[in-house]
Amino acid sequence: MQVAVGRVAKAHGIRGELAVDVRTDSPEERFAEGAVLTGRARDGSTCELTVAAAREHSGRLLVRFAEVPDRDTADTLRGVLLLADTADLPPTGDPDEFYDHELEGLRAELRDGTTVGTVREVLHSPGGELLALDREGGEVLVPFVRAIVPEVDVAGGRVVLDPPDGLL
């Protein structure tokens, strides 16, 4: 299984560097020299990318990949999602902290056991994280806060919801 660790925003300079929007808490590990990532384009095609160098610049990470020798090649990677293997991720060390991929696919149920949907993805917004639930009839966004999601049972394959009236 793979998890997103960044997205290529644009090419930077003439030597093939890429400005990357980071989606990981440990960019120094994910984008360390020699790290191999999978790049997935919007059309679903993939390629392997080996980190040759990475540095901070104006709030973004600039990454040079061994397979990207120049700006023309870099321009073709705009929008590519950068993925790392979940087996390479260290444990969170905090029982109340989860990787997005651990939550995706969990059954969402009310305290009484009534199933209300499935967690499709975790959305990261300026106001906090949201669980996007697939439900019959559409999608529901649920704030991922303890008051509304009091229990996460990854081993049991479920998240328990205590939604306020009108949320669902």
Answer yes or no: is pLDDT of 94 > 80: no
Token pair of 20 as six digits: 């990357």
What is the DSSP-derived secondary structure letter of residue 44? S
For the chain, residues classed under CATH 2.40.30.60 are: 2-88
pLDDT beyond 90 at 100: no
Q: Are 133 and 140 in contact (CB under 8 A)?
A: yes
Superfamily of domain 2-88: RimM (2.40.30.60)
Range scoring the smallest mean pLDDT among 15-19, 63-67, 77-81, 122-126: 122-126
Whose CA is closest to 160, among 97, 117, 99, 129? Answer: 117
**Cβ atoms of residues 70 and 15 within 8 Å:** yes
Where does the chain hold its CATH 2.30.30.240 domain(s)?
100-161
The CATH fold of domain 100-161: SH3 type barrels. (2.30.30)
Using left for φ > 0, alpha for ψ between -120 and 50, and beta otherwise, residue 101 falls in: alpha
User: pTM of the predicted model, to two decimals?
Assistant: 0.64
Please say if the pLDDT value at position 8 is more than 80. Answer: yes
Tokens representing residue 80 in the block: 């590519």
> How far is the C-alpha of 129 from the C-alpha of 134, rounded, in Å?
16
User: Quick one: what percent of the chain has pLDDT higher than 70?
Assistant: 98
The answer to whether 8 touches 22, Cβ cutoff 8 Å, is no
Contact yes or no for 124/144 (Cβ under 8 A) = no
Share of the chain above pLDDT 90, in %: 65
Mean pLDDT (whole number) for 76-87? 90
Residues 6+ apart with CB under 8 A from 95: none
* pLDDT for res 26: 81
